[in-house]
Structure 1
Amino acid sequence: MLSRIDLTPASRPLLLPDETLLFVQNAVGIYEGKYKIPNYQNGSAYLTSHRACYVDNEDPRKFSVAVELKDVDRVECYAGFLKSSPKITLFLKPPATAAVAATNNFTPSPGNRSAVSTPKPATPLIRPTSPLPASTGVWICPICSFSNPIPSNYIPQVTPTGSIPPCLACGIRPSPGVLESSSQQPPPRSPTPLSSLSPLHTAGSGPTPSSSTATATTTATATGDSDEATFACPRCTFLNHRWLRSCEICGEHLISPDLPTEQLLEATRGESPAPTSIARKGGLIGENVEVVKFSFRAGGDKVFHERLRNALIQRKWLLQNAPPVPTPGQSGNGGASSGGGASGATNADGGAAAERVVGIAGLERAGRNVRRKNEAAIGGAFEDLEALMGRAKEMVALAEEFSTRLSSTPTFANNEAKAVLRNSTQALGIVTKDMLTSATGGGSNSSDKASDLYLSELARQVAEFLADDARGILKREGGVITLVDLWAIYNRARGIELISPSDLEKATGLFEKLKLPVRVRRFRSGLLVVQEARSSDAETVRRIMEWISGPGWGRGVTAAQAAERFGWSIGVAAEELEMAEERGALCREVGVEGVRFWRNWLVEERR
């Protein structure tokens, strides 16, 4: 079942606890069965250890869904052919209550019995027989026209598509509509002998009509009944029996002519090949979907399929609701504290139990033992933390050297080391190039696509880093941070898989294209800064004017004072003051102490 997902400020899936990102691929669309889902054809696929997510590029807040991996029954891969893109098919498990509910509700109600009831006889001389059970019929293969038996355990609209056996002749698996139409078609009827019917006319009931009159009456009756019992297919205009649900010629889904005009207009399919439920509701959110396909128009299907199968094997979502691992001595401490001193306390070195002490002395001894253990645990933790902080620079250099050696010498042992390094980066939530590479050795075109995807995901991650309220990077820097400072702070927080300044510059240039909450700004001197997308020069000038305004001529300020006031760096403060000067709001005074900016009363007096 497709479900909506929460997104980060950078329009990426918000990961659950203990959920790791495995792969990212752009230019992806999703299907429901063999039909495209409208508004879900231009986005990115995010594969995590718990979900397979789709995030739309145009409107990610509205058209972003996910499939829980715990609901996936099996996976199939289609390599594509000619203009058909490669696809990954996810066959979902049916709901636990669907089979029981469908079995109980399979017998049609009196109001809806016309959908599967026996057709009305066209003449009173033939009695219809009872329809055969759906499990004893046959279905005709649309490929080779071979007659196959319908499985006995097949339940319409409940049995998954993957559970339907293929054709016995050509091996092609049919669609559920073929079995439904075959199981609901009325069986051939044989006319009942006239001798077993009650006579229509007796000797004393009246004169028998002549043969010509009877022929005309029969023809008129048959013509009227045929007009009422048939209606044209909306695709091929073939006249089908009114009780059929699909056309006998082209297989098109038929709409009953007994429906009101409003329902007919609502149920009529448009030009889009999507199912009517999708076109009418705008998606299948919350509905029982059997098959979901991910269409990869820019490659990446092989890596996605490989890591999806590994995620289904590992089943990390089972650990989400698992109880915590018990620690040694946890039950003993709890017993001592809850027993009110009834149980004896143990020695600090784990020796034999001391003599049994009850009352206040027992409570004091139990509390003293708990405090001693807590002090030992906290002291050891802080010692490890101090040692790690003291060797942070050495660890970063060692990680860089280790990564360089792995990439330069591809051996079997290094492949295992790469897997360990990949797991560590996944645990830290870092997007690396191996998560985004859509093809291995696919030429310059594939390399360019992988590079573009890496830069776009790096831009999203940097935007999340800046917009994180817990870190408060932009707030601490006064809403503006230089690109050099951002590169240093981001690499320091990242720790491993450090990025180059050129990659960061290219990634920040994609902020506006990806509609992220931050943007890049270039000052007149060429200084590049990153600030919030909603901030503007007019707002900055207004804040400066409110600060320097005062009684008389106001006050003159320097770049250092502005940096201290607004939290900017010295370079950013100087650029902002010069920008306000260019707009005519400030004027400068060059003296011995340096440059000081005042409110431009000269321009205001001329006005």
Structure 2
Amino acid sequence: MADRLAWTDGQLHVGEVMITSQNGVSINDGSEKTDYQKGLITLTSHRILWQDKSAQIELPLSVVIFSEKKDASLTSKARLICTLSRGQEPKRPGPFASSRHDEIQFEFREGGCNDFLRLIQEELVKKRWLLQPVKSTTTTTTMSSTTSDRSHRTGISGIENHLQHQLNVQHQSISGAFQDLNKLMQQAKEMVNISKTIATKIQEKRNDLTSDETIRFRSYLLSLGIDNPVTKESAGNQYHTSLAKELSSVLEKALKDTNGIMTLSDAYCRINRARGYELISPEDLLNAAVHMEELNLPVRLRVLSSGTKSFELTNRNEKKDLQEIANLAESSISMSADQLANLIGIPVIVARERLIAAETYGLLCRDDSIEGLRFYPNQF
């Protein structure tokens, strides 16, 4: 929703506080690149400001529903994704007349994405733009109002008024936070009850429901963010094969965002986080994983040369991935496992396996010295 961006003079308003800044940040409309690349992004208590030599743009925090991070990949740096609301207020003049996306992505080319994400999430919780609306710095006041304001700000009474104002602001912030928490807990209970009701109806009318209706019910559960996890009681003898299908559906999207490979330990944490209270054991995870290939699922279990077990996409192009790693090593003159892990966002042990695999294919050659193991482009 790049159409929510508006032109600005870049000046802070009265009541607005600057939080942090970061250079080398580009603006994407959804996943599409824009002309606004490698500028300075600034977070304030009320807005996100972006500027370069030719433009100054703002995005009010009031239109940001939530923010999250997309890890770096082979083709892009880490990104801050802001999902925006479609407000009813008149559109202000800005660089984009319209947009077909529901989000804006800020690509951090020089680092700093994690800190910026943490700070913007804090500001979205505080909602300081509601507690203290900004006032234009160009507003003129009469002499009488100026004199009155000074009388309220001086002396012991002025200090007391200021302290009382701060206490009121803190009280409103804490009260608002607890109200939001209570609403979230209430909605969570309602969502769980809805999911259990739908799951019970599916179980009771299993013979009466068509396959299309079953798929539709399942899509409703997934749209709520709550699925009916596979358990030993519900699946019986088919527990591990059913669990394998569930693992595949959960891990497929995650693997696409993590360069197509994930260690068994990372997958175990992700799966249990998604299942909530219905946790599975490491043995169940491994026993289910061995069924993936025979079921022709889009995810499979792979044992690396070091013995480390990992999940990967079945349609993963091994040679293409290794060639991209070789190209990265060539652009950097040489490459270590630590560097590759930080560059594309994968565990160090997996990065080392990738480099060794590229060496096996003849794309790289190694230099094992007292400074550590490094890989260079194979010129022979």
TM-score, structure 2 normalization: 0.41
Higher RCO, Cα 8 Å, sep 6+: 1
Computing the radius of gyration over CA atoms, which structure comes out larger, 1 or 2?
A: 1
TM-score, structure 1 normalization: 0.26
Whichever structure has more strand as a proportion of its residues is: 2
